Amino acid sequence: MKKAALAFTTSIIAMMIVISISFNVKTVEAANVDYSIEHVNHTVEVMYNGYVFINDTIRIVGKALDGTATVERFLIGFPYKYGFHVLRCMAYNASDVFHVKSNVPLENRMGFYAVEVNFPQPLDISNGATHVFTVGFLLSNNLLNAKDANSFTLDFPEYPSLTKPAANCSVSIFLSTRKEELDTYFKENLSAFSYSPRNITFSASDDEIRMVDVHELKREVRINGLGEVEVSDTYYITNTAQKELSSIEVILPPNASDPTAQDQFGRRMGKPTQTDEKTNRYEISFTLPLETNRSARFTVKYRLPGDYIMQGGANNFALTFPLFQHVNYYIEQSSVTFVLPEGARVLSFENSLIGDSYSISRSVFQESVTINRQGIFSLNSFNVGIVYEYSPLWLSFRPTLWIWALAIVGCAVAVVWKRPRAPARVAVPRVAVRIRPEYIKSFIDAYEEKRKTILEIESLKIRARKGKIPRRRYKVRRKTLETRLGTLSRSLAELKEKMRAVGGRYADLMRQLEIVETEINEVEANIKSIEARHRRGELSLGAYRKLLADYQSRKEKAETAINGILLRIREEIR
């Protein structure tokens, strides 16, 4: 019994010695895997619509004596209060893009928001080895507050929070629309786990900062058989400033010409004027000022030269198109659709950055390619290349169809003309029934007010989701808007019945309107369904984005159809 106890005790002691030796070996190995942070370049950029991009370029120098020592990850962060405003995080060097894991502990320190950068190839940190890489954070425009008409206060992390001291750190704060810096300074011996929030107040004109949320950009690039390119950009924005918005600046692709703009109802807006030739920035003036917290859609159309298309063979063509160059504002959701000439067929893509974020639509005679991206700003610019096959013989396709159609119609007319005619009947004149102009005007005003109220409810939901409005105020305001919407719906129902009773084209227009409204209701229900499925994990992110883009495209077409119907009704009172 004593021998068994002694053997058990001996085995326990041996195991403890082995564990201790193993722990000491790992400690020594960890001590050898070491580096120092030589320099950090900390830049804070305020974009045109108030979003903040923080860029930290870090240079580390290896100190480990073992030539095989490597580092696989890097931690960086800032005070935790800024974590609520982080929209995107990215890390890269001159040759690679790194995977980033967000909202991780900063070496178990409280009060910090941190990210973990994982290097695909471990960095060699043998003695004297140097590595440079960049970590960027995109933060919301809630950190920028307007003190008065042209004065702003920015709340930002003065220094990055690192797990090691940095020998020196240079800081610069600037506007993306201004050449000179707002402030610049230098700090030596930046301590580890630096916790340093800071505020800076500066003046900026309307041309430099306009507080808007760009929810969506839909770009359609149409190419005809002659190589001519026509583009239309549709923006969906919300004015988040404390004053009305009378104009906004947008970036067009290089060499864009003959730009025009129109609002969501098809009304022509002011002629776009170029404000910066280098970045091809244009100012768009609204027909009516956009009030605070109101949303609007507008479309900019323009032409591009044939330089974007190169012919590589008898029937092969290559389209090279720049996307998001010089864009100094943040876009939540974007889609770019390339509509190829009739008869063209996509052969390949020439840019791996597209990944799986595209879809190809095919009709009877035409193909189109749609690229969807989220969270866009200047750092996301790239060139997309599409190689397609197209025969110039397709240029005569439409004229040939028209000739055949006219020939068939001519033959049909000739046959009918030669048939014996029946005795003419005496036509009994009908009394033309018209509806009173004030009813038509009331219907149009009520319908546009209903659409405006729906947009305001959507904008209110977005602001509440982002925490820009107190919950109690949100509920009161939403109830008021929903009450107004119910009243408008009842009035519209009565006016629709009066217009149906008239018959003729009025009844037909009401029938078309109901069909389009049903389409919109169905699309909105489908969007809610896929959002719920995505939250439950039943739908992948890629599939969710593709379905969402399809439904939004259907909704956009339906809203365009409503604009056309309202325009035809409006013509009845002119």
% of residues, the chain, pLDDT over 90: 37
Flag whether 6 is in a domain.
Answer: no
Please compute the mean of the pLDDT values over residues 457-482 and round it to a whole number. 81
Q: How far is CA 86 from CA 18, 246, 464, in A?
A: 46, 29, 17
Closest CA to 138 of 119, 163, 161, 156: 156
The label of the residue with tokens 């039943």 reads: 538
Instruction: Look at 37-41, 172-176, 400-404, 469-473 and tell me which has the smallest mean pLDDT.
Output: 400-404
The pLDDT assigned to 356 comes to 57
Please compute the mean of the pLDDT values over residues 167-189 and round it to a whole number. 93
Rounded distance between C-alpha atoms, residue 139 and residue 52, angstroms: 5
Verify that 381 and 250 share a domain, yes or no: yes
Verify that 312 and 276 share a domain, yes or no: yes
Instruction: Look at 76-80, 155-159, 376-380 and tell me which has the smallest mean pLDDT.
Output: 376-380
pLDDT over threshold 50, residue 28: no
Flag whether 414 is in a domain.
Answer: no
Find out whether 122 and 359 touch, Cβ atoms under 8 Å: no
Q: Give the CATH number for residue 378.
A: 2.60.40.1730
Q: Give the CATH number for residue 117.
A: 2.60.40
Residue 424: partners with Cβ closer than 8 Å, 6 or more residues away: none
Flag whether 157 is in a domain.
Answer: yes
Please compute the mean of the pLDDT values over residues 324-333 and round it to a whole number. 91
* H or E stretch covering 489: helix 471-502
Find out whether 256 and 321 touch, Cβ atoms under 8 Å: no
pLDDT over threshold 90, residue 536: no
pLDDT over threshold 70, residue 483: yes
Flag whether 428 is in a domain.
Answer: no
- Detail the DSSP E strand segments found in 67-125: 70-79, 86-92, 97-106, 109-124
Q: How far is CA 78 from CA 39, 73, 103, 191, 197, in A?
A: 17, 17, 11, 13, 8
Verify that 225 and 177 share a domain, yes or no: no
The pLDDT assigned to 236 comes to 95
Neighbours of 48 (CB within 10 A): 25
Verify that 529 and 464 share a domain, yes or no: yes
pLDDT over threshold 60, residue 68: yes
The pLDDT assigned to 234 comes to 95
pLDDT band of residue 404 (cuts 50, 70, 90) is low
Residue 147: partners with Cβ closer than 8 Å, 6 or more residues away: 153, 201
Q: What is the pLDDT of residues 331-369, one digit of tens each?
A: 999 999 999 988 888 888 765 555 556 788 877 778 888
User: Of 366, 394, 422, which closes a domain?
Assistant: 394
pLDDT over threshold 60, residue 467: yes
Please compute the mean of the pLDDT values over residues 243-265 and round it to a whole number. 91
Verify that 88 and 195 share a domain, yes or no: yes
Verify that 360 and 256 share a domain, yes or no: yes
- First-to-last alpha carbon distance for the chain, in angstroms, is 112
- Assigned token pair, 398: 């439409």
Flag whether 386 is in a domain.
Answer: yes
The pLDDT assigned to 65 comes to 67
Q: What is the pLDDT of residues 43-67, one digit of tens each?
A: 999 999 999 999 999 999 988 665 6
Please compute the mean of the pLDDT values over residues 540-564 and round it to a whole number. 81
Residue 333: partners with Cβ closer than 8 Å, 6 or more residues away: 215, 216, 217, 372, 373, 374
Verify that 266 and 120 share a domain, yes or no: no
pLDDT over threshold 80, residue 83: yes
Query: What is the domain count for the chain?
Result: 3
Flag whether 8 is in a domain.
Answer: no
pTM for this predicted structure: 0.64
Residue 536: which domain range?
A: 437-573
% of residues, the chain, pLDDT over 70: 84
Rounded distance between C-alpha atoms, residue 566 and residue 556, angstroms: 15
Pairing of strands 166-175, 229-239: unpaired
Rounded distance between C-alpha atoms, residue 185 and residue 342, angstroms: 58
Please compute the mean of the pLDDT values over residues 500-510 and round it to a whole number. 77
Rounded distance between C-alpha atoms, residue 330 and residue 51, angstroms: 7
The pLDDT assigned to 283 comes to 94
* H or E stretch covering 285: strand 281-290
- Assigned token pair, 39: 């320099």
Flag whether 420 is in a domain.
Answer: no
Task: Work out whether the CA dihedral 459, 460, 464, 465 comes out positive or negative.
Answer: negative
Verify that 326 and 217 share a domain, yes or no: yes
Flag whether 400 is in a domain.
Answer: no
Find out whether 139 and 197 touch, Cβ atoms under 8 Å: no
Rounded distance between C-alpha atoms, residue 288 and residue 296, angstroms: 11
3-state secondary structure of 93: coil
Verify that 223 and 169 share a domain, yes or no: no
3-state secondary structure of 279: coil
Verify that 91 and 173 share a domain, yes or no: yes
Verify that 254 and 359 share a domain, yes or no: yes
Q: Which residue has the higher pLDDT, 480 or 203?
A: 203
Verify that 270 and 386 share a domain, yes or no: yes
